[in-house]
Structure 1
Amino acid sequence: MTPTAQKMSRTQLTAMVVGSMVGAGIFSLPRTFANATGPFGALIAWLIAGTGMYMLARVFQALAERKPELDAGVFAYAKAGFGDYPGFLSAFGYWIGSCIGNVSYWVLIKSTLGAFFPVFGDGNTVVAIVVASMGIWLFHYMILKGVQQAAFINAIVTVAKIIPILVFIVILSFGFRMDLFQGNFYGGGLEGNLFEQVRSTMLVTVFVFIGIEGASVYSRYPRERADVDTATIIGFIFVTSMMVLVTMLPYAVLQRADVADMRQPSMAAVLEAVVGHWGAVFVSIGLLISVLGAYLAWSLICAEVLFTAAKTRDMPAVFARENASKVPANALWLTNIVVQLLVISTYFSRDAFALMLNLTSAMSLIPYLFVAAYGFMISKRGESYEVSPEERRRDLIMAGIAVIFAGGLKFILLSAVLYAPGTALYIWARREQNKNVFIASDWIIFIVAVIGAIVGIYGLATGRIAL
């Protein structure tokens, strides 16, 4: 494949952002928010999450401009700012979190089919797992044919899956009832104060924003470097607008308690309640397209992150090998083996979709924290601001807000449960190169990760940390 054939246009990069963000989460928003809060709390939650993630998007944009030599942004920024082991942790966390997210897609696909074919249940029956397994390897072999071909398919799927969401928004807008919206506004009978209501929505808001860095991960592919930041901001604004509307409009057509009792995907159930059974079928078809498209996008991203980490010798060298189509085949194999094992594990889960959603969110916060902190670091010391120093203060403020948003002790402990044992890959890579595994500061981080893993496991076992 020629270098030209490998390049992605701005439209394809934007589709990667939209395709990565619009997946399982948006179709579950009505019930998820109705279980937790009313329109007032939802507005506050979206304001907090939207502001934090917008700042993170702007940090990605600024870093794409200031550090054009850094590819596969999420991992590369952590390594450049904090060293080899933190860079590995960022790459590993982002990769394993993405694998877990891919499992949630398969669970929701089968749960959607379960509304029409009971054999699929809630997405974690034996039949559901077998069908999901077939899908995993079908996508695997399609991606092995080439990144460019998969990106082209993703662009088409992204357009196709947006249509049902826009139809949902338009129909509910015409059915808007102010009396219902006002009655639901402060929770419609929910117990708990506003702070507790908003806090209970934060994991899902993190989950639906994951993918905002889709263009940055592919920063070695654009025809023009400026296309990365443009695609990131356009994708963010478009998807955020849709997510807020999908969350808020059901409060204006149905009672909050009725929405809270609906089966996932609740967007299908809401539209069915408004227009009849065809609405459920229509949204379900859109969901299947959406989730399959998102799975394709995230399979590409997973393999790309693992491949780049191996190319920079922070993962074992075996994952840096490409096939004849320039696809990181070994990285893709490991990714899909992990996804397969996680899909099998859902059989033993009481609520597989919620579990995978929460774990994905928890694992993604650490890589985002590293990116935000690196953006804060370079803006504070003025690095690479020689040409336009007036932008330094703006980027410093945005990075600082993003750092604050990305933190959270509970989620750090949950992440440590996987980060600590994942360090085995880093040890493998360092020994391949006959290098010392850790420097002094790395030992501190590793010990903290091990302690965090122990505390996290204890918290999960005793119920002090709830998923």
Structure 2
Amino acid sequence: MTTPRTRALGPLSATTLVIGSIVGTGVFTMPAVLAGAGTSSLLVLAVVSAGALLLGVLFGQLTKRVPHSDGGVYAYARHEFGDFAGYLTAWCYWITAWAGNAAIVSSWVLYVESLFGIENPGAWTNFGIALVGLWIPAAVNLVGVKQTAWLQNVTVVLKFIPLLIVGIVGWFFVETANFGPFNATGGSLYDGISIAAGVALFSFIGVECAAIAAGRVKDPQRNVGRASVLGTAASALLYLVVTAAVMGLVSHGALVDNGAPFVNAFEAIFGDAAWVGKLVAATAVISGLGALNGWTLVTAEMPWAAAKDDLFPPQFAKENHDGAPWFGIVVSTALASALMGFAYSGNTGLTVFTYLVSLSVVTVAIPYFFSACAQLAYLVSRRRRVTGWALARDLAIVVASGLFSLWVTAAAGYAAVYQTMIALLLGVPIYAYLKTRREQLHAVPAPADTGDEPLVPIVPVPDTPAAITDHTHGATR
């Protein structure tokens, strides 16, 4: 029997969990990727920010009406569409979580190397640094959720200080000549939008973190929605102001494909001093640890919630004496480590980051779409309690959220969708095993097959005058 979970995350901690999960090292790498698309990427970032805010509102609405919302997007899909939809949602989001951790740490590695002056590192050096970045947050999470919340609050405060310096002070040093062309891809505008949309959505993955960890949030029906919206709004404002400032502080040529663009941005403000690069790199390292700390919790929360319902292997429901889902933390971190090893075997730098981002974006868009459809099913049913203007408002939120999820999936590109489809299909045999196990335990009824039903005996029909054939005329009379 599972013991009740400690609801250690209050409104502030839940909000900082969202902010800390959204604003990681991605904000320190994003300007370089967006610069490759051109200044049109700022408009794309604004659109994605609006979409993320709508998703935050949607998750708050779903948490209020779904009785058992542990696991967030998983719980919503299962509540409305049944076990299989819930399982697919949990499977996709779990992939997003540990693949996203790999993407975060790939950006984090670049700033660790800048902090310690590591030049021209090899693949093994990159991989070793990445392992440190993955397993330190795992160790913190294994200690317990209270320590996780404490570290989350501290890292959010520390990383916001230098980001605000760039976002406020930096604007006094912006030069309009540094901004690149509206479309810098050399191709169609759609190509630029696709590049910007992928990294922009990846930067907002985390809007659902308070919903995922609803079982650890105090008064989740009230605080999950507030934390999701407030955390996302603060992150969106920060992203837009800081990214635009960096584009104006660093020339377009120097910004594109720059692994540590904030170092150049601080040098534009304070001059080319040794302490500038160290300060920025240290900030990015702290920011990345905070993001990885929050995401390590989320990677274990999703499979824990599904395992509790026998929709993930039962080992994922195991907790240590501090209430931490230790099995999920260890397995998820091990998978992220393996993915980092694979990524670094063929590429380095921003190439690794971009590859991992594309995989994470599509796998998270699927749970977002399921959540929108779950709310849509409720609103068009006779179970709903909203009418009039409230119904029109909620329908608009649902439709916009669903279309946003579809657009992001399409913008991610064929390769990302192809890889995600393979990953999704790999989860189906696992579900088949889990379903068989539940049937054997009589947790769910087995489907009735034709071969399992008793044969109905065929009773011969006696001859009647009406069924006697007149062979002379070839007719029946």
- TM-score, L = length of structure 1: 0.85
Please name the residue that 1:34 is paired with: 35
Q: What does residue range 44-443 of structure 1 map to in structure 2 within 5 Å? A: 44-115=43-114, 117=116, 119=118, 121=120, 125-177=123-175, 179-180=176-177, 184=180, 186-187=182-183, 191-224=186-219, 225-261=221-257, 263-275=258-270, 276-277=272-273, 278-350=275-347, 351-381=351-381, 383-385=383-385, 390-407=389-406, 408-409=409-410, 410=414, 411-434=416-439
Query: Which amino acid letter does the alignment assign opposite residue 385 of structure 1?
Result: R
Corresponding residue for 1:465? Answer: none
Q: Unaligned regions of 5+ residues in structure 2, if any?
A: 449-477
Q: Deviations for 1:419-463, whole angstroms, at most 9, x for unmatched residues? A: 1113343233223223689979xxxxxxxxxxxxxxxxxxxxxxx
Contact 2:17 2:209 (8 Å CA) reproduced: yes
Distance in 1 of aligned mates of 2:426 and 2:190: 35
Matched, 1:14 2:30: no
**Cα distance, 1:237 vs structure 2:** 0.7
CA drift at 1:231: 0.8
User: What is the CA-CA distance between 1:94 and the residue it aligns to?
Assistant: 0.7
1:315 positional shift: 0.6
Give SS of 1:349's match. Answer: coil
Conserved? CA contact 2:115–2:281, under 8 Å: no
SS at match of 1:201: helix
The gaps in structure 1 that reach 5 residues or longer are 441-467
Q: For the Cα contact (< 8 Å) 1:44–1:198, is it kept in 2?
A: no
Measured in 1, the distance between the counterparts of 2:194 and 2:259 equals: 21
Three-state SS of the structure 2 residue aligned to 1:236 is helix
2:22–2:235 CA contact under 8 A, matched in 1: yes
Q: Tell me, in whole angstroms, the C-alpha distance in 1 between the residues paired with 2:281 and 2:29.
A: 12
> What is the CA distance between 1:366 and its match in structure 2?
0.8
Q: Following TM superposition, by how much is the alpha carbon of 1:100 offset from its aligned partner in structure 2, in angstroms?
A: 0.9
In the alignment, residue 27 of structure 1 is paired with which amino acid? F
For residues 131 and 184 of structure 1, do their structure 2 counterparts lie closer, same or farther at Cα, with a shift above 3 Å needed? closer
Q: CA deviation at 1:345?
A: 1.5
CA deviation after TM superposition for structure 1 residue 247, in Å: 1.9
Task: Give the whole-Å Cα distance in 2 for the aligned partners of 1:52 and 1:439.
Answer: 40
C-alpha distance in 1 between matches for 2:445 and 2:50: 38
Task: Give, as a single letter, the amino acid of the residue that structure 2 aligns with 1:421.
Answer: L
* Aligned twin of 1:458: none
Give the Å deviation of 1:96.
Answer: 1.2
CA distance in 2: counterparts of 1:46 and 1:4, whole angstroms: 37
Greater mean deviation of Cα atoms: 320-329 or 342-351:
342-351
Residue type of the partner of 2:315? Answer: V
Q: CA deviation at 1:338?
A: 0.9
Deviation track 1:241-261 (CA, whole Å, cap 9, x = no partner) reads 011112212333343223215
**Letter in structure 1 aligned against 2:320:** N
- The 1:426/1:437 distance shift into structure 2, 3 A limit, reads farther
**CA displacement at 1:377 relative to structure 2:** 1.8
Q: Is contact 2:8–2:217 with CA below 8 Å preserved after alignment?
A: yes
Equivalence for 1:455? none
Partner Cα separation in structure 1 for residue 125 and residue 42 of structure 2: 39
Larger radius of gyration: 2
Q: Could you tell me how far apart the structure 2 residues matched to 1:5 and 1:310 are?
A: 18
* TM-score after normalising by structure 2: 0.84
Higher percent of residues as helix: 1
Task: Let me know the Cα RMSD of the aligned residues.
Answer: 2.6
- The question of whether the paired residues in 1 share the 8 Å contact of 2:114 and 2:278 is answered with no
Q: Tell me the alpha carbon deviations over residues 287-308 of structure 1, each in whole angstroms, 9 at most, x when there is no partner.
A: 1001111001000001010110
Q: Give the match's secondary structure for 1:434.
A: helix
Alpha carbons 1:382, 1:392 under 8 Å: kept: no
Structure 1 pair 349–371 and aligned structure 2 pair: CA distance change class (3 A): farther
Alignment coverage as a number of residue pairs = 432
> What is the letter of the counterpart of residue 23 of structure 2?
V
Over 3 Å counting, the alpha-carbon distance change for 1:68 and 1:13 in structure 2 is farther
Give CA-to-partner distance per residue, 1:300-319, whole Å, 9 cap, x none: 00101011010011111121
Query: 2 CA distance for matches of 1:120 and 1:306?
Result: 39
State percent identity of aligned pairs.
24
